[in-house]
Chains A and B, each alone.
Chain A
């Protein structure tokens, strides 16, 4: 088994204000392997984006606070790194693309300069060499006439082209890990299809690992090798994409999959999950956060927080119903796993 390139261990990111503490991420663990895509799936407020920003140290602290956990990149804890060390990793070995290509590019800087900036910073290239590299990268991500477009400003690009430019920046140093936070959510479906295809091609070429953060189940099915489903800041289920869709173990995953309308079949009714996700700022709730919406909740679910049960085939589920199927805990997560009591 190859070594994971990125391991998150029991990550807890809280937002602490005088009035209240919001446990945005509360005990997330996973392994990302080289060349693979891991999808982190969840709805708004599930903590999926906050976890990504925690990895790269991009959260404003305070109010954000990483209360516990480790983020190991090639065995080194990013959370323990000094600012300078982290800066050398960020954008170079671990790069990120954001949801809003509109707001994540600098509007008063030419697209080419924004790509060149990264190359100059991390690879110490000259301006001329960096510009040539920027043109190369724009070509690689499929921008027509890159020699001319390299001097355009972001507003001269369409939404899809901006996302391509963002990907060019992220790829400029051939990172080991690409964190993509809802990379296609703001795009039309035909453009989304182009961007996903581009990401897959580039992943093959650079052998990158991708953390794909999304709420779109269709995108997960298309892109992911492994999936972590998050709910209310917790991981509720981890499995390979095939296993997850074939046999979801956690009631939330089952509900989520059933509530997605499919283009291939017309269902009379969708099986919606009743109720609303919990308010994370409203103080800690005893037990499993999904209890109130769960159709199969047991009595203990409202009182005892389920730990992460390790099931066959490397799957994990945080549901008491899976206790019976649980195998012995792997050593890997035993010490750092946040959800263990």
Chain B
């Protein structure tokens, strides 16, 4: 009898699990793209060829398989700054608690800035990233917001400070220089970021004096592994690896336009956040 009941429960759980799987596999829409590979892209040889020397040019998708942090303790200045950042619908809000206001810049379509733009791509695992070149520099263009960065490769130094007399202005995506470490790893150092964007959506800050280093290692023809480390003594008690992920090369990948448009941000604020009781702080 007991075995019979157990079998029934097991069967019921199995049926529920299968129904969940069936639901999860549901796909629809009138014009359904198959994943993020557009039709007509030729199959690429498998296995991939060797990594080309000192070359990341072309279209990539990702970051994929990313990890964040851990984020170390903040300094008192970092804590003070962190308290000013009110994330959108935080996980720490208990049921029945008041819904906090938020000043997440993305609600109002303010620039994500660097390196949060990398994480935004990682969420969807579909971000388009295009490495190109111009004299003395590498250009990196991002599908999200169609922004681009220029990485100076001519040996120049990063600015020692920003927003001071005789110094350059801070930038949402910072000032960047790069060099090759061997033939397959591109190292990019960035500083001078505008402090208004967040490190990522949990509201952690980064200061304009932070040194943020990316290391892109081309493993083979199709794969890049990269890390992003943050050294920001003003806001954090020690340097840390902020992010680790990989990119996948897609020769003919087309990129969507993924703008966050101010009028649409206003629509979102008025249609969803305000009726939901979430005040958007400016």
Query: Are A and B associated in one complex?
Result: no
